Amino acid sequence: MSKIQYQYDPTHFEASEPLVTKKENLRVEEMILNIGPQHPSTHGVLRLEVVTDGEIITDVIPHIGYLHRCFEKHAEKLPYNQIIPYVDRLDYVAAMNNEHAYVMGVEKMLGIDKDIPKRVEYIRVLVAELNRISSHFVAIGTYGLDIGSFTPFLWVMRDREHINRLLEWVTGARMLYNYIWVGGLYYDLPLGFEERCKDFITYLKPKLKELQTIIVDNKIFVERTANVGVLPMDLAINYGVSGPCLRASGLRYDLRRVDNYSVYPELDFDIPVGEGKVGTVGDCWDRNYVRVQECWESVKIIEQCLEKLTKEHKRTRDFDPQAMVPKKIRPKEMDYYARAENPKGELGFFFRTTGTYDIPFRVKVRSCCFVNLSVLPAIAKGVLLSDLIAILGSLDLVMGEIDR
């Protein structure tokens, strides 16, 4: 039996994974390195085309589209209320925040945003802030893994599990909820939820202090992240960066304060910003530091919501969380943009409606992760290849929202 001879085809790689960088334009000492799309440090199916001179990066080109799920095309074929489960799947570790932004936009188009019961609003903020902590825990824990710290990941996943169980008790789902509806909620909080949530907050506070010690103040972590991937404020603004990545550069800009939506104006919380405590303002350490501090602020918001939900806006027998849910959602003809502060930045929805159907003509998503990723080539040039992973992890990207 004759052996089959296989001949290597050097054009196969270019055909299956096209490159932006032309090989003929490379200098003698340069080479092209592909990181991803299957790589643990890319936080999803992201491919980075990296041009290196030894271990020094001269250029980075992100390649996206490996997780494209046609969200905006689906939205053209579905009623407004049936789009909510698809909204969950954008930033799938912060589904409550996605729903909150989308639903507020539809309610404002309908003109019912001022009529939503206060109990509904406080429940929305409560579950959204729980989900914000959960999202930040994923960012902080996986970032520790990226640069070689394993224990913080196990600790934050342990504590995130408590949040998942609380949200599962409320909604029946652990990640993708379909809980915040246009005009109300799927269901009221279960009996005893407020007390259980208070117990969790009491448990969480010392754990956040431990997290501060084991990762934020850790000498090795500081040396790996301080003065690395510095994002100046003017560059962040010019690229449209938002969320913790923008605030880490020193700008105190948070849509919960800027737009004063929902019941956030009635709540007391601070906006943490990068201060360059151990390095330069806007470096990788500052971006992680801001997320840790935001967990403390979310704890303050949750405590205030629980206070309101057990006193001024406590449950009553006649309370119906679906009382304001419209049977037919048909906004007038208009173009409207709604936005909210997600854990990763400004999530926006642009609506175009015809006024004759309960299906939107167009729903365009403004992805904060997509915009934040765009700044990567600008801040990664000239750094070591190992620092590229530290910079990428500090941006906290979710590919489901980038590709949509």
Ramachandran bin of 296, using left for φ above 0, alpha for ψ from -120 to 50, beta for the remaining angles: alpha
Alpha-carbon distance 387 to 380, whole Å?
8
| pLDDT tier at 289, thresholds 50, 70, 90 | very high
Contact 338, 105 (CB under 8 A): yes
Helix (H) or strand (E) holding 334: strand 334-342
In this model, does residue 12 exceed pLDDT 60? no
**Helix 193-211 and helix 118-146: axis angle, to 10°?**
30
pLDDT of residue 9: 57
Amino acid identity for residue 143 in this structure: Y
Alpha-carbon distance 287 to 283, whole Å?
7
pLDDT of residue 14: 58
pLDDT one-digit tens code per residue, 154-174: 999 999 999 999 999 999 998
């710290």: which residue's tokens?
Answer: 149
Alpha-carbon distance 152 to 21, whole Å?
38
Contact 15, 45 (CB under 8 A): no
- Both tokens of 162, joined, read 């408590």
Q: Report whether the peptide linkage leading into residue 40 is cis, meaning its omega lies within 30 degrees of zero.
A: no
C-alpha 37 chain-centroid distance: 20
What distances in angstroms separate CA 267 from CA 76, 125, 145, 256, one per listed residue?
36, 10, 34, 10
Contact 91, 102 (CB under 8 A): no
**Global pTM value:** 0.92
pLDDT of residue 36: 76
Collect all residues with Cβ–Cβ distance below 8 Å to 345 and sequence separation of at least 6: 241, 242, 243, 244, 245, 246, 368, 369, 371, 372
Contact 128, 177 (CB under 8 A): no
Collect all residues with Cβ–Cβ distance below 8 Å to 3 and sequence separation of at least 6: none
Collect all residues with Cβ–Cβ distance below 8 Å to 371 and sequence separation of at least 6: 239, 240, 241, 242, 345
Alpha-carbon distance 241 to 17, whole Å?
28
pLDDT of residue 292: 94
Q: What percent of the chain has pLDDT over 90?
A: 62
| pLDDT tier at 121, thresholds 50, 70, 90 | very high
CATH architecture of 81-327: Orthogonal Bundle (1.10)
Alpha helices by DSSP H, listed for 311-345, are none
pLDDT one-digit tens code per residue, 206-233: 999 999 898 888 899 999 999 998 999 9
In this model, does residue 1 exceed pLDDT 70? no
Amino acid identity for residue 372 in this structure: N
Contact 313, 122 (CB under 8 A): yes
Mean pLDDT throughout 63-69? 87
In this model, does residue 196 exceed pLDDT 60? yes
- Both tokens of 350, joined, read 């642009």
pLDDT one-digit tens code per residue, 347-372: 999 999 988 888 999 999 999 999 99
In this model, does residue 37 exceed pLDDT 90? no
Name the residue among 375, 294, 367, 389 with its Cα closest to residue 43. 389
Ramachandran bin of 220, using left for φ above 0, alpha for ψ from -120 to 50, beta for the remaining angles: alpha
- 327 three-state secondary structure: coil
Alpha-carbon distance 141 to 90, whole Å?
21
Q: Running DSSP on this structure, what letter comes out for residue 115? A: G
Alpha-carbon distance 201 to 301, whole Å?
11
pLDDT one-digit tens code per residue, 304-349: 999 999 988 888 888 888 888 888 889 999 999 999 999 999 999 9
Q: What percent of the chain has pLDDT over 70?
A: 96
Collect all residues with Cβ–Cβ distance below 8 Å to 149 and sequence separation of at least 6: 214, 215, 218, 220, 221
Name the residue among 361, 358, 369 with its Cα closest to residue 394. 369
Name the residue among 291, 211, 216, 295 with its Cα closest to residue 247. 291
pLDDT of residue 66: 87
